């Protein structure tokens, strides 16, 4: 082994070109799960990228606000978007499928993680998906779909109905 492939401690060092591709980080979720991710994929998160640049990452990055299930999803997203040779069309299809099956609680968790980790594409897509689910829908439909509990009194409810009745004229049928 050529000396330039050894670091000062005499350990083997991966040549730089190869290193760039295989270099990995460990992301640690709030519930202690550890995930390995390439630096190029992790760098799609502005928050993680900043931590890497400030060199305060030290190989393991704890993410105390993201649980394991959510982090696994986010990493799937990042890996796809960092994949060599994935066309924009591939990514678009992936994004659509990635979000389409999500329940409301999962959507909320992914929105929070996307915001916290500053992954703009993901955050934008999740918000857009929530927005699309609300446009032109009745109050009852939005409540049921997004599990929003009404905390209005009967009088308040009545008042709001009077005030805003025009806003939901011509909304989509709840059966849709």
Question: How many angstroms separate the CA atoms of 42 and 118, rounded?
Answer: 11
The residue among 13 and 167 lying less far from another protein, judged by its C-beta, is 167
Q: What are phi and psi of 12, to 5 degrees?
A: -65, 140
Instruction: Single out the residue of 86, 115, 81, 116 nearest to residue 98, CA to CA.
Output: 81
Question: How many angstroms separate the CA atoms of 152 and 145, rounded?
Answer: 18
Binding mask 20-39 for another protein (x = CB under 8 A): --------------------
Question: How many angstroms separate the CA atoms of 157 and 14, rounded?
Answer: 66
Question: How many angstroms separate the CA atoms of 136 and 142, rounded?
Answer: 10
What residues form DSSP beta bridges with 21?
Answer: none
Question: How many angstroms separate the CA atoms of 66 and 88, rounded?
Answer: 27
User: C-beta of 159: minimal distance to another protein in Å?
Assistant: 10
User: C-beta of 110: minimal distance to another protein in Å?
Assistant: 11
Binds another protein by CB under 8 A, chosen from 60, 62, 93, 152: 152
| Other CB atoms within 10 Å distance of the CB of residue 160 | 14
Binding mask 67-106 for another protein (x = CB under 8 A): ---------------------------------xxxxxx-
Residues 109-128 that bind another protein (CB under 8 A): 111-112, 115, 127-128
Is residue 162 near another protein by the rule CB under 8 A?
Answer: no
Give the range of 19-27, 35-43, 52-60, 141-149 binding another protein by CB under 8 A.
141-149
Binding site for another protein (CB under 8 A): 100-105, 107-108, 111-112, 115, 127-128, 130-131, 133-139, 142-152, 160-161, 164, 166-171
């Amino acid at each position: 082994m050529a000396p330039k492939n050894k670091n000062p401690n005499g350990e083997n060092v991966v040549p730089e070109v190869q290193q760039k591709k295989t270099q990995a980080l460990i992301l640690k979720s709030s519930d202690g799960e550890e995930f390995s991710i390439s630096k190029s994929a992790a760098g799609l998160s502005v928050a993680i990228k900043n931590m890497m640049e400030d060199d305060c990452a030290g190989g393991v990055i704890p993410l105390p606000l993201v649980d394991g299930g959510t982090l696994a999803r986010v990493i799937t997203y990042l890996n796809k978007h960092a994949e060599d040779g994935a066309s924009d069309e591939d990514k678009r299809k992936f994004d659509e499928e990635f979000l389409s099956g999500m329940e409301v609680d999962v959507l909320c968790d992914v929105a929070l993680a996307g915001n916290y980790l500053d992954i703009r594409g993901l955050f934008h897509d999740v918000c857009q998906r929530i927005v699309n689910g609300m446009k032109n829908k009745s109050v009852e439909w939005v409540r049921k779909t997004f599990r929003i509990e009404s905390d209005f009194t009967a009088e308040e409810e009545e008042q709001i109905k009077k005030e805003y009745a025009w806003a939901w004229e011509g909304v989509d049928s709840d059966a849709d």
